Amino acid sequence: MKSKDKSFLKSSKDKPEWEWKEREKPHINLRGKLFSFGKPVVMGILNLTPDSFYDGGRYFNMDKIIDHTGKMIEEGAQFIDIGANSSRPGARQISESEELDRLVEPVGEIRKLFPDIYLSVDTFRSGVAKRMVNEFRVDMINDISAGELDEKMFEVIRELQVPYIIMHMKGTPENMQDNPVYKNVVKEVVRYLAEKVYVLNSLGVNDIIVDPGFGFGKTLDQNYQLLAALDVLSLPGVPVMAGLSRKSMVFKLLETSPGKVLNGTTAVHTIALMKGADILRVHDVKAATEAISIVEKLKEQWV
């Protein structure tokens, strides 16, 4: 039984001005069962791309793909997000057939070897989403464009009835960082995501996860404004995903490179968790699971 002894707070003067803000734990329907985000979870990133900003080109060999997937699962990932089309700033967009060519064999092998892991496919194309779910029983779709780049996506998600991750992005990967301008980035992102959730709900899509889109059409300062207000993005009953891992908002601030910014990534992950993030989408699963364990232990002292 957890101890609720608060004797270390001897008087109101000893108690910090802040208290942990608990919100109702969101849940989604996964494989016909309710998955509750009673504590945050880790989504491990598997990029099957030659040009992703951090790990592009690492996982083309099937043995390496399987080894890396197994390692992420062993280290505590409950979700694996597989992407075959780079969305880094300025990335060249490949065709749908090329995206499928990169996905089909790895997804099939991963599903066969790791049948219990929840699989997500990172795609903005409805045709890719449809094939991945119908042929390989992929559990969710992660769409960086929230339906903006494929007008058929919302209807396909309604048909598939799988959880759907929607992200805020200003522009497209090719031009999103040219000159992103907002009057108030937090209000605009919250409004955008809330409107998307409303439209999806009206179509009968209820299992939705929102992602503010760190690094997607935001300046460094705008990214940190969003991180500081991440708790504001907590729409009722809707899980929040934070994709901060090794991004430019961390390595540019620290004047280093994506490969040398694990410590900074853990710092922003910890802040995101304290601000209510339900999912951390990460390259480094072990470090993220450790951050969750520490933050959850801290929460026990206040809840």
Query: Going by C-beta distance under 8 Å and a sequence separation of 6 or more, which residues neighbour residue 294?
Result: 270
> How many distinct structural domains can be found in the chain?
1
Q: Is residue 249 part of a domain?
A: yes
Q: Is residue 187 part of a domain?
A: yes
Q: Is residue 285 part of a domain?
A: yes
Q: Is residue 29 part of a domain?
A: no
Q: Mind listing the pLDDT tens digit of every residue in the chain (303 residues)?
A: 444 554 444 444 444 444 555 667 899 999 999 999 999 999 999 999 875 444 444 546 899 999 999 999 999 999 999 999 877 666 677 899 999 999 999 999 999 999 999 999 999 999 999 999 999 999 999 999 999 999 999 999 999 999 999 999 986 666 556 667 899 999 999 999 999 999 999 999 999 999 999 999 999 999 999 999 999 887 888 999 999 999 999 999 999 999 999 999 999 999 999 999 999 999 999 999 999 999 999 988 875
Give the C-alpha distances (Å, rounded to integers) separating 2 from 6, 15, 19, 147, 276: 12, 20, 19, 44, 21
Helices (H), 148-211: 153-160, 185-203
Q: Is residue 279 part of a domain?
A: yes
Phi-psi region of 100 (alpha: psi -120 to 50; beta: other; left: phi over 0): alpha
**pTM as predicted:** 0.89
Residue among 88, 102, 131, 281 flagged as catalytic: 281
Q: Is residue 283 part of a domain?
A: yes
Q: Is 131 a catalytic residue?
A: no
Residue closest to 225 by CA, chosen among 214, 237, 238, 211: 214
Q: Is 281 a catalytic residue?
A: yes
Domain limits for position 229: 38-300
Q: Please state, in angstroms and rounded to a whole number, the distance separating the CA atoms of residues 105 and 12.
A: 60
Q: Is residue 236 part of a domain?
A: yes
Residue among 247, 275, 297, 299 flagged as catalytic: 247
Q: Is residue 31 part of a domain?
A: no
CATH number at residue 224: 3.20.20.20
Q: Please state, in angstroms and rounded to a whole number, the distance separating the CA atoms of residues 25 and 40.
A: 10
